[in-house]
Each structure stands twice: as C-alpha cells, then as structure tokens.
C-alpha cells in the first residue's frame, strides 16, 4: 500500500502555504513599524487602514477596477491574436522573419509613454486608444515565445513529415503548433501582466476622468488630495489583478499541457 504524503509536504500545498506565510510576516512587520514609529497616514498608511479604505471607498475603486480590467482583457486578446498571426507569418520563411523581427523588437524597446500621446490623438475613442497602447506593450512576448516554439521542432519529425509530403498547413497544425504550445503559454503568462501594466500606463497618459476612469486616475486623484490610503488601496487592487491574471494563465497552461508535457507532469 502506497504511503500517503503528509499534507504539509505536498507540493501543491507548499506552493500556496509558503508565499502566504511570507506575506503574513511582511504585512505584520509593516503594521508594527507604522504603529511603533507613529508614521502619519499621509506618508505610509498601515495595512489595516489600507484595507479599511478599500472597503469604505469600494464604490469608486470597484468601478475603476472594472474599467482597467476591461482595457487589460481587450489589449491582451488583441496582443494574443496579433502575436500568433505574426508568428505564423515568421515561420513561413526565414527571410520574412529576418526582415520583420527587428521591427517587433523596436516595438518592445520603444517606451509606451513616448508613443501613447500620439496614439491617443490618432485614435479618437479613448478606450480603443488605451487598448492599442496596452496591446503594444503585451505584444512582443507572444511574438517572441510563439515564434521560438514554432521553430523548436524535432528535426526527425520534420523529416518524417517531409517524407510523407505533408503540406505547409499540415506541418503547421500537426507538428509546429503542438510543439509551440509550452512556449506560447509561457508568453501568455508574461503578456497578461504586461497588458495590465500597459493599461495603467495608458490611463495615466490619457488622463481620463469621470465614470470611465480607471485605477490610474484614482491613484492620480488620491495623490493630488494626499489621500494616500486610497492610493495604496488602488495599488493593492492592481497588484491583486496581476496575480489573478498570472494564476489564470498558469491554470490554463495546466489544463492544456498537464496530461502530456514534461513541464507540467514533473512533481519536483
């Protein structure tokens, strides 16, 4: 009879327990330092005050979160579709990849704050403009990882497909795409966080207010009013959203690869 692994020694439990313990210790230390040093709330609010503000100001913060999340999801979807299509184009010919890949790198290294004002001027709809800005931030990891995955195929399998006179479409669907899935999902985990960052940066640049304002506007408004607890509460929502997106992408990776790929089958 197989001996059952103790609960605390199970990898799944440890992956949750260890970060939670570290987080509790850091929050407790933060609370103790604020109280012991008698720091005013307009400098560093305590975790308790931050959570209290999050509850009392949930109406504006919750609405702002929905706006930011909407832009994040739209930009992430746009970056995913565009990145995959561009990667498919790159693998059709090494010459095409050599000619166009430097421009993908150019998008990555260009600061979004430098081009966002132009995009906002060119695209009249504020939501569409911010979506394009955030998508540009999230695009490169999809292109880079997916292209690498589509190129990283077993030479013997490629020879076998050619021996059987497989068309380009058959090689793409039956050989390249399955080989690229681990790389693609790795790009999704990176790109989801970058889409959130791009959305917040785009909101900062756009400076939209009112009912269509996102969390970036709440941070700016709280800074002008020296309402630092609300600022920290908005930052907490952004951080939790980023963590939730990463966990969601990790779960999708597990669902897609968990039954066959070594990266998900390993228990170490």
* Structure tokens that stand for 120 in this block: 């906002």
Which pLDDT does position 255 carry in this prediction? 85
Query: What span, in angstroms and rounded, lies between the C-alpha atoms of 192 and 199?
Result: 11
Q: Which long-range contacts (CB under 8 A, 24 or more apart) does 93-96 make?
A: none
pLDDT at 123 over 90: no
* Structure tokens that stand for 18 in this block: 């260890």
Q: Confidence class of residue 256 from pLDDT cuts 50, 70 and 90?
A: confident
Query: What span, in angstroms and rounded, lies between the C-alpha atoms of 230 and 50?
Result: 7
Which pLDDT does position 210 carry in this prediction? 54
Which pLDDT does position 136 carry in this prediction? 92
pLDDT above 70 covers a percentage of the chain that reads 90
Which pLDDT does position 115 carry in this prediction? 85
Which pLDDT does position 1 carry in this prediction? 47
pLDDT at 84 over 80: yes
Query: What span, in angstroms and rounded, lies between the C-alpha atoms of 240 and 261?
Result: 29
pLDDT at 126 over 60: yes
pLDDT at 105 over 70: yes
Query: What span, in angstroms and rounded, lies between the C-alpha atoms of 132 and 256?
Result: 28
3-state per-residue secondary structure call for the chain:
CCCCCCHHHCHHHHHHHHHHHHHHHHHHHHHHHHHHHCCCCCCCCCHHHHHHHHHHCHHHHHHHHHHHHHHHHHHHHHHHHHHHHHHHHHCCCHHHHHHHHHHHHHHHHCCHHHHHHHHHHHCCCHHHHHHHHHHHHHHHHHHHHHHHHHHCCCHHHHHHHHHCCCCHHHHHHHHHHHHHHHHHHHHHHHHHHHHHHHHHHHHHHHCCCHHHCCHHHHHHHHHHCCCHHHHHHHHHHHHHHHHHHHHHHHHHHHHHHCCCCHHHHCCC
Contacts of 164 (CB under 8 A, 6+ apart): none
Q: What is the mean pLDDT of residues 34-63?
A: 89
Q: What is the mean pLDDT of residues 144-165?
A: 84
pLDDT tens per residue across span 158-207: 788 888 888 878 888 888 888 888 899 999 999 999 999 999 988 888 76
Which pLDDT does position 246 carry in this prediction? 92
**Rounded to 10 degrees, what is the CA torsion of 33, 50, 198, 244?**
100
User: Between residues 257 and 49, which one has the greater pLDDT?
Assistant: 49
Q: What is the mean pLDDT of residues 102-110?
A: 85
Which pLDDT does position 209 carry in this prediction? 55
Q: What is the mean pLDDT of residues 234-247?
A: 92
pLDDT tens per residue across span 194-224: 999 999 988 888 766 555 678 988 898 888 8
**Rounded to 10 degrees, what is the CA torsion of 46, 52, 57, 61?**
60
pLDDT above 90 covers a percentage of the chain that reads 34
Which pLDDT does position 225 carry in this prediction? 87
Cβ-contact 193, 245 below 8 angstroms = yes
Q: What is the mean pLDDT of residues 227-250?
A: 92
Which pLDDT does position 238 carry in this prediction? 93
Q: What is the mean pLDDT of residues 76-103?
A: 90
């Amino acid at each position: 009879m197989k001996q059952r692994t103790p609960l605390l020694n199970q990898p799944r439990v440890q992956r949750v327990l260890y970060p939670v313990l570290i987080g509790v210790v850091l929050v407790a230390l933060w609370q103790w330092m604020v109280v012991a040093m008698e720091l005013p709330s307009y400098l560093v609010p305590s975790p308790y005050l931050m959570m209290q503000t999050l509850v009392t100001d949930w109406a504006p913060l919750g609405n702002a979160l929905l706006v930011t999340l909407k832009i994040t999801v739209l930009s992430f979807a746009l970056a995913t579709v565009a990145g995959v299509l561009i990667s498919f184009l790159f693998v059709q010919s090494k010459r095409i990849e050599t000619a166009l890949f430097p421009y993908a790198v150019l998008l990555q290294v260009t600061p979004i704050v430098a081009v966002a004002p132009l995009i906002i001027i060119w695209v009249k709809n504020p939501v569409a403009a911010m979506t394009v800005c955030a998508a540009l931030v999230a695009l490169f990891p999809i292109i880079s990882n997916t292209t690498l995955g589509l190129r990283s195929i077993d030479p013997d399998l490629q020879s076998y497909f050619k021996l059987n006179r497989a068309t380009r479409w058959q090689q793409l669907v039956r050989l390249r795409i399955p080989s690229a899935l681990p790389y693609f999902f790795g790009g999704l985990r990176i790109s989801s966080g970058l889409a959130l960052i791009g959305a917040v940066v785009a909101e900062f640049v756009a400076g939209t207010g009112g009912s269509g304002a996102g969390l970036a506007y709440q941070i700016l408004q709280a800074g002008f009013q020296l309402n630092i607890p609300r600022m920290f509460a908005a930052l907490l929502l952004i951080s939790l959203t980023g963590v939730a997106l990463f966990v969601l992408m990790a779960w999708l990776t597990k669902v897609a690869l968990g039954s066959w790929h070594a990266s998900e089958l390993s228990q170490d």
